[in-house]
Amino acid sequence: MERSAKFIAGLVIFLLAASGIGGYAYVQSREFLRGPQVTVTSPENGKTFDNALVVVEGTAQNVTSIKLNDNVIFVDSKGNFKEKLLLLPGYNILSVKAEDRFGKRVEKTLELVYKEPMKQVVASSTPLGM
């Protein structure tokens, strides 16, 4: 009887270890299959601005590297990012690129328009050159 109890105890330990390894493998493969995930929450794609300063906000999951227009940006412990950016007059394309530890990449693009305010011309009653 003592031998069968040792055998059962060994089998239980083996099964627990195997399930732990299997669980670890499942978690790691899930991250690999899902890849990096980026969501841009603000600004809305296609939006028109009358101010050149725009704040790009969003979340990133499973990323080791994230860039906005090829400049490295940082995420907080919850995966949130918030970056200020100046738009050029007219049509602008913003790119958020992320990569995970397995080398998988994802890219999100935003198309924004900045309409520069009209400059006011002030009439002068003094002739030029005087």
pLDDT tens digits along 45-100: 999 999 999 999 999 999 999 999 999 999 999 999 999 999 999 999 999 999 99
> Does 26 or 14 have the greater pLDDT score?
14
- Residue 38: which pLDDT band, with cuts at 50, 70 and 90? very high
Whether this prediction's pTM lies above 0.95 is answered by: no
**Domain positions in the chain:** 1-34, 36-114
Q: Class assignment of domain 36-114?
A: mainly beta
Main-chain dihedrals φ then ψ at residue 18, nearest 5 degrees: -65, -40
- Enumerate the β-bridge partners of residue 108: 96
Residue of 120, 114, 110, 118 whose CA lies nearest to 52: 114
* Rounded distance between C-alpha atoms, residue 32 and residue 104, angstroms: 8
